[in-house]
Each structure stands twice: as structure tokens, then as C-alpha cells.
């Protein structure tokens, strides 16, 4: 059960339920945080379609292999790699490995603001 006080917040494992695809979404605003994130744990071939945000997004690859497309350029990344996309730059990623992809997608915003972009 989450704990929210005037000094801190604790969100316990299991408080934020994963989507059917295995992604946990955290928006910081209700907890007094200026940061939001997706904790992705998805199957091969999965990933979001092209989109953009009015703020930068930072990815930290925890395990697996990913192809991140940023502004039309493809970057392959693996465990320990960090990739940053600037504000308003269209991007997407796909799990290109044979195992699950675990990646943290950090949004420098208290709310996740996402706009789909035509490919």
C-alpha cells in the first residue's frame, strides 16, 4: 500500500499494476515528484509507436536488446546503455532481442504528456 506524507512517498511493489504488455506507469505529480517514468518489461517485437513529448526522455536499458529510433536515426542499445531524446523529437523503440526487454523510460515531467506522430 502506498504511503504519502508531507515529507515523503513510498509506492510499494505491486501498488502500480503492469499493463497487459508488462509496463508499469508512474506519474510523479500525485506524489510531489517532478519526474515520471515507464518501467517496461516487454516481449520481443514489442514497443511503442512513433510519438513525441514536450520535454526530453531518457532511457536506461536494464536487460535485453532494443532499437530506439530518434529523429529518424536508429540506435541499438543493450544492458547499461543510456539514450536521451530531446524535447519534441519523434521517437519509438522496439525489443529486437529474443528475450524480454527491461528498460526504464524517464520523463522529466510530473505527468506523462505524449503525442502520436504519423510515420
Beta bridge partners of 89: none
Does residue 109 form part of some domain? Answer: yes
Does residue 12 form part of some domain? Answer: no
Average pLDDT over residues 4-30: 91
> Between the CA of residue 17 and those of 2, 26, 38, 98, what are the distances in Å?
13, 10, 12, 25
Give the CATH number for residue 33.
Answer: 2.60.120.10
Model pLDDT, residue 44: 97
Does residue 111 form part of some domain? Answer: yes
Does residue 9 form part of some domain? Answer: no
Does residue 13 form part of some domain? Answer: no
> Between the CA of residue 1 and those of 11, 14, 29, what are the distances in Å?
7, 8, 18
Q: What is the DSSP string of 22-66?
A: S-EEE-SGGGT-S-EEEEEEE-TT--PPSEE-SS-EEEEEEES-E
Does residue 97 form part of some domain? Answer: yes
Q: What average pLDDT does the structure give for the chain?
A: 95
pLDDT digits (tens, 9 = 90+) for 32-48: 999 999 999 999 999 99
- The answer to whether the beta carbons of residues 89 and 73 sit under 8 Å apart is no
Does residue 17 form part of some domain? Answer: no
Q: pTM for this one?
A: 0.91
Q: What total of structural domains would you count in the chain?
A: 1
Q: What residues make up the domain containing 83?
A: 24-116
Distance of CA 98 to the CA centre of its chain: 20
Model pLDDT, residue 106: 98
Model pLDDT, residue 1: 75
pLDDT digits (tens, 9 = 90+) for 47-89: 999 999 999 999 999 999 999 999 999 999 999 999 999 999 9
Does residue 8 form part of some domain? Answer: no
Most confident of 10-14, 18-22, 34-38: 34-38
Residue 14's contacts (CB-CB under 8 Å, 6 or more residues apart) are none
- The answer to whether the beta carbons of residues 106 and 33 sit under 8 Å apart is no
Amino acid at each position: 500500500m502506498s504511503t504519502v506524507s508531507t515529507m515523503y512517498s513510498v509506492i510499494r511493489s505491486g501498488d502500480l499494476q503492469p499493463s497487459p504488455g508488462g509496463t508499469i506507469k508512474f506519474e510523479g505529480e500525485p506524489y510531489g515528484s517532478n519526474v515520471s517514468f515507464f518501467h517496461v518489461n516487454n516481449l520481443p517485437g514489442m514497443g511503442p509507436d512513433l510519438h513525441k513529448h514536450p520535454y526530453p526522455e531518457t532511457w536506461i536499458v536494464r536487460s535485453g536488446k532494443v532499437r530506439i529510433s530518434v529523429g529518424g536515426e536508429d540506435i541499438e542499445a543493450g544492458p547499461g546503455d543510456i539514450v536521451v531524446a530531446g524535447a519534441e523529437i519523434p521517437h519509438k523503440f522496439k525489443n529486437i532481442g529474443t528475450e524480454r526487454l527491461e528498460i526504464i523510460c524517464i520523463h522529466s515531467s510530473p505527468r506523462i504528456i505524449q503525442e502520436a506522430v504519423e510515420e
